Amino acid sequence: MAATAAKADTTQTIPTPTRPGVGGTDPGPGNAELTRQNPDLYAPPATDHGTLPNLRFSFSDAHMRLEPGGWTRQVTVRELGVSKNIAGVNMRLNAGAVRELHWHKAAEWSYMLYGSARITAIDAEGRNFVDDVGVGDLWYFPAGIPHSIQGLGPDGCEFLLVFDDGEFDEDNTFLITDWFKHTPAEVLGKNFGAPATLFGHTPDPSERYIFPAPMPGPLASDKIPGATPVPQSFSHRMLAQEPIKTKSGTVRITDSSNFPVSTTIAAALVEIEPGGMRELHWHPNADEWQYYIEGKARMGVFAAAGQARTFDFQAGDVGYVPFAMGHYVENIGDTPVRFLEMFKSSYYADLSLDQWMALTPPELVNAHLGLDPQVMNALRKQKSPIVPA
């Protein structure tokens, strides 16, 4: 009887696709858990209208590639069709495990979600880079720069990778073992000045994509004697930045102005307290690709021509806002919302609806909207990226 009662209670929490005067019950088959997670799709606000494309996809719905040293999954234009400029990869490396030496045609930006890792690279002038990164740290490797990632103790790491090409495919990278495997032994011998018989025994690339390896020593032990360091660091401590603070949250912005090497990806880490909201705004320079780290949020997107749509998000979800579309992100849970905004751009930029109205002659604004004097008097000349409940 207890089990039956529990089931009945759970069923009562499922929203119904109704609003006053419209909609109806949904007695047919359905996925109750997904319905609970996406109430604004199931019973959209009355302000939603039109046929905007899907702007949400969850990493939980992405294919998981399992490897001896961890796993990886990706959200690209194949999973989220509107995302033509940016793709994302979520990767886990066990302690000691290595994402093998490789490079990409796209630039790689990363945010550390869990644990710690050691990253290595060189640039085209043969300058060297080695660093350890932890939660909240970033790295950026320009297109074509060879690099590696290794999980450290005690429990490896998990991170988000962002690439400046929506068509990117994590399974189609330039791997060092793959190149060795497909180069004749005599050519390798000639290149490295060693007998050809010493080559031809490289492990299959499928065994080295993400593979276990001995745990490295202290960072200093991996510094190459006599190597010249890169002039611009490939890593950045995002959480160490002084945030923009409001009553209901914080914003940290990282772009080429404070992370100079990151010339194709700009980002903001946004934290919203319960009841708070990322204000009504838009971005004048690029599409926005989002990754939700914690909390529950909803986003309303205005696409002009009477089109608007609302989406719900939780940890592990990806959101997308096409170029110049107005939007807000509201914390609808009882814990903080934390998410990343990413842009294919060298700089971060946004425009505030509130600030625009405050810096426009009030008679002109009122001629458009006929607002109450209380609203007009409350307009802010300075941006407040997170507004309170």
Instruction: List pLDDT tens digits, range 240-269.
Output: 999 999 999 999 999 999 999 999 999 999
Instruction: List pLDDT tens digits, range 71-105.
Output: 999 999 999 999 999 999 999 999 999 999 999 99
Question: Alpha-carbon distance 138 to 163, whole Å?
Answer: 13
Residue 259 is assigned to a structural domain of this protein: yes
Average pLDDT over residues 51-75: 97
Helix (H) or strand (E) holding 296: none
20-24, 84-88, 290-294: segment of lowest average pLDDT? 20-24
**Feature table: binding site:** 102, 104, 108, 147, 281, 283, 288, 327
Residue 207 has pLDDT above 90, yes or no: no
**Average pLDDT score over the chain:** 94
- Name the pLDDT band for 205 (thresholds 50, 70, 90): confident
Residue 10 is assigned to a structural domain of this protein: no
Residue 126 has pLDDT above 80, yes or no: yes
For residue 170, the model assigns a pLDDT of 86
- 121: three-class secondary structure by DSSP: strand
Please list, in sequence order, all residues whose beta carbon lies within 8 angstroms of the beta carbon of residue 192, skipping any fewer than 6 positions away: none
Please list, in sequence order, all residues whose beta carbon lies within 8 angstroms of the beta carbon of residue 379, skipping any fewer than 6 positions away: 354, 357, 358
Contact of 337 with 277, CB cutoff 8 Å: no
Answer yes or no: do 223 and 267 share one domain.
Answer: no
- Name the pLDDT band for 171 (thresholds 50, 70, 90): confident
Residue 25 is assigned to a structural domain of this protein: no
- Name the pLDDT band for 9 (thresholds 50, 70, 90): very low
Question: Alpha-carbon distance 66 to 97, whole Å?
Answer: 13
For residue 17, the model assigns a pLDDT of 93
Instruction: List pLDDT tens digits, range 221-244.
Output: 999 999 999 999 999 999 999 999
Average pLDDT over residues 306-323: 98
Which of 171, 204, 236 corresponds to the end of one domain? 236
State whether the Cα torsion 44-267-162-334 is positive or negative.
Answer: negative
Kindly report the pTM of this predicted structure: 0.94
Residue 325 is assigned to a structural domain of this protein: yes
Answer yes or no: do 293 and 229 share one domain.
Answer: no
For residue 3, the model assigns a pLDDT of 37
Quick one: which of 362, 373, 320 has its CA closest to 344? 320
Residues forming beta bridges with residue 330, ordered by sequence position? 277, 298
Average pLDDT over residues 6-27: 73
- Name the pLDDT band for 206 (thresholds 50, 70, 90): confident
Instruction: List pLDDT tens digits, range 329-357.
Output: 999 999 999 999 999 999 999 999 999 99
Answer yes or no: do 244 and 221 share one domain.
Answer: no
Residue 63 is assigned to a structural domain of this protein: yes
Q: Which residue segment(s) compose the domain that 66 sits in?
A: 58-236
Average pLDDT over residues 61-80: 97
Catalytic residues: 341
- 22: three-class secondary structure by DSSP: strand
Average pLDDT over residues 37-55: 95
Answer yes or no: do 203 and 305 share one domain.
Answer: no
Answer yes or no: do 223 and 258 share one domain.
Answer: no
Question: Alpha-carbon distance 265 to 292, whole Å?
Answer: 17
DSSP characters over 28-58: S---HHHHHH-HHHHS--TT-BS-PPP-EEE
Domain of 69, CATH number, reads 2.60.120.10
Residue 295 is assigned to a structural domain of this protein: yes
Residue 321 is assigned to a structural domain of this protein: yes
User: How many domains does the chain divide into?
Assistant: 2
Average pLDDT over residues 132-160: 98
For residue 14, the model assigns a pLDDT of 77
Residue 9 is assigned to a structural domain of this protein: no
Which of 187, 207, 236 corresponds to the end of one domain? 236
**Feature table: binding site for Mn(2+):** 102, 104, 108, 147, 281, 283, 288, 327
Answer yes or no: do 222 and 269 share one domain.
Answer: no
Amino acid at 266: A
Answer yes or no: do 300 and 345 share one domain.
Answer: yes
Residue showing tokens 């190597």: 227
More confident residue, 383 or 11: 383
For residue 389, the model assigns a pLDDT of 75
* The pair of three-digit structure tokens given for residue 388, joined into one six-digit string: 């309170």
Answer yes or no: do 202 and 280 share one domain.
Answer: no
